[in-house]
Structure 1
Amino acid sequence: MSTDYQQARAALGARLRELRLSARGGRLTGTELAERHGWNKSKVSRLENGRQTATPDDLAKWAESTGRPEALDELLARLKGFESHIRSWRRQLATGHKAVQDVHLSAHSDATVFRGWEASMIFGILQTPDYARSIFTRYAELQRSPRDTEEAVRSRMKRQEALYDSSKRFHLVLWEAALHALICPPSVLAAQLDRLAGVIGLDTVDLGILPFSAPLKIPPATAFWIYDDRRVIVENWHAELWLDDEPGVDTHLRVWRTLHESAVYGVRAQNLITAARRAVAAR
């Protein structure tokens, strides 16, 4: 979690404490506030000390309980300010995966040049429906989120229309490990590798494979997307990070270019995919 994010959450907590201590009708104790809304006794302390992120509902109840309903817009603006950069999966997946896919569909429609790095699975924009279905199922189990697998798959397939838009370019680097990861049944992976091999011929896609044998200047770590060299989306187990600050974007561009230098393309990339396809068939 970034320092900026922590500072913004702490600042929101300090503002919540200020409202509680200066509540109209008399100062509220943390215990009183918690009991009023059926919260755990420690919740007020965690929110005020920046150790927990408030929900919009928390903020509405806080403003109402302190007799300061006019402060709600300010509190929501503070929350939106830092959550626009760090988007927890718990919140994003509250209604399932389709909503997240729709957000990415919108982001894709607004950009023309994409750079991507993926170390553990096939890029979403290159996935077959069956492979995507396996991914969404596994993540729904992990995150304990609502199952809207088919709707999410349809949204992801809709995003793939961008591959055939002549105004867009996709510069993608994939670690060889993703060609072998059995996050799905072998038959599904085999079809996915066939699909991947066919993508290499598209004039909108520059697909590189980073071989196991390649000498690396940096570790092949966290996956990310760069949109128009102005915005970066990074995924971890807790959240998506949406970065638009110049230092953050520049760092990810350097990482992408460094990994790109070690990747292979064209026939050599095809050979790696073919070898992975044969390995799957032999299982």
Structure 2
Amino acid sequence: MNADYQQARQALGLRLRDLRLNAPGGRLTGLQLAARTGWAQSKVSRLERGNQTPTAEDIEAFAKECGRPEAADELKAMLRDVESHVRPWGRQLARGHRAVQNAHNAEHANAALFRGWQPAMVTGILQTPDYARAVFTRNSELQRSPRDADAAVRSRLKRQEALYDSTKRFHILMWEAALRALVCPPPVLISQLDRLHGAVGMDTVELGIIPLAASLKIQPATGFWVYGDQRVIVETWHAELWIDETANVRTYLRTWDTLRESAVYGADAHNVINAARRALGPR
């Protein structure tokens, strides 16, 4: 589990425990508070130990039954700090993918150097509209979220304008498997590979491909982006991890540097892309 997230959740749990132990009407036991809220005593324990993330409603009930309803605002501010590190897809996608894309656009505006790793699909900053639409549609199905693929594509294309900003640099690594994964219809993937072929020569982009046959020093795990040297965003199946703690950011930078040692560039990268294109047959 992300250490930044767990530390923030434990801090919130300690504040909840303090509220219970210092209730105006006298100290409450966990069993007493559970009876007042209608929860199992184990839930009170999990919340206070930082083993479960409370909802805003949980916090309001906790504060009210401890006789301190005014403390709810402070506690919900701490909850927002917890959720700034782990952003569950269920909450993020409640209004569709566009809002998530807009949040990423804001992060892009504040950084000049980007390092990305993507083992499973073509990275978003280089996706064609049709490829991006296929990805958004299939993830909406998985997450059972509102389908707003067209709006999400427009937001993603807005972010791609940064590729033509001479003040920004994108150092991108992809595994060859990402070039071959049929997450879209074959004709869409063919056009996407043509787009990648052109990206190899862009002034702002350094695109490295790790061939399937390459020797790897570490396993090609989940994709991530490093924004400058300050923040990492990692996508998992259940949430995005927003990582700010310096030691953890450095771990991802070392990971990226290690993966880079197995990558090929320039003409060699073109050869890998062309091989993936040929495997799809004629248009």
TM-score > 0.5, shorter chain as reference: yes
* Post-superposition offset of 1:264: 0.8
Aligned AA (1:250)? R
Give the Cα–Cα distance (whole angstroms) in 2 for the partners of residues 44 and 262 of structure 1. 49
Q: How does 1:73-92 map to 2 (within 5 A)?
A: 73-92=73-92
Number of residue pairs the alignment of both structures matches: 279
| 1:52 corresponding residue in structure 2 | 52
SS in 2 for 1:170: strand
Query: What is residue 267 of structure 1 aligned with on the other side?
Result: 267
Distance 1:152 1:53, change over 3 A: same
- For residues 4 and 169 of structure 1, the distance between their equivalents in structure 2, rounded to whole angstroms, comes to 27
Residue 45 of structure 1, CA deviation: 4.9
Q: Distance in 2 between matches of 1:8 and 1:154?
A: 34
Shift of 1:86: 1.9
* Alignment correspondent of 1:30: 34
Contact kept? 1:33, 1:44, Cα under 8 Å: no
Query: In 2, Cα distance between the equivalents of 1:138 and 1:223?
Result: 18
Q: Aligned pair 1:160/2:164, yes or no? A: no
- In structure 2, C-alpha distance between the alignment counterparts of 1:147 and 1:229, rounded to whole Å: 34
Report the Cα offset of residue 194 of structure 1. 1.0
- AA partner of residue 111 (structure 1): A
Amino acid at match of 2:187: S
Matched residue, 2:222: 222
- Could you tell me how far 1:125 is from its partner in structure 2? 0.7
* Separation (CA, whole Å) in 2 of partners of 1:184 and 1:221: 22
Question: What displacement does 1:251 show?
Answer: 1.4
The secondary structure found in structure 2 opposite 1:206 is strand
Structure 2 regions of 5+ residues with no counterpart?
none
Q: Does the CA contact (< 8 Å) of 2:2 and 2:241 recur in 1?
A: no
Q: Secondary structure at the match of 1:281?
A: coil
**For 2:140 and 2:60, how far apart are their aligned partners in 1?**
29
CA distance 1:151–1:42, change in 2 (3 Å): farther
C-alpha change, 1:269 and 1:4, in structure 2 (3 Å) is closer
TM-score normalized with structure 2 length: 0.89
**Which one is further off, 175-184 or 82-91?**
82-91
Identical-residue share of aligned pairs (%): 63
Distance between the aligned counterparts of 1:191 and 1:173, measured in 2? 19
Higher deviation after alignment, 263-272 or 239-248: 239-248
Q: Which runs of 5+ in 1 are unaligned?
A: none
After TM superposition, give the deviation of residue 3 of structure 1 in Å: 4.2
Name the CA distance, whole Å, in 1 between partners of 2:4 and 2:214: 36
Aligned residue for 1:174, secondary structure, equals strand
Give 2:273's aligned amino acid. I
CA RMSD of aligned residues (A): 2.2
Note if contact 2:224-2:233 (Cα within 8 Å) is conserved in structure 1.
yes
CA offsets 1:246-279 (integer angstroms, 9 cap, x no match): 2112111111111112111111111111111111
Aligned residue number for residue 5 of structure 1: 5
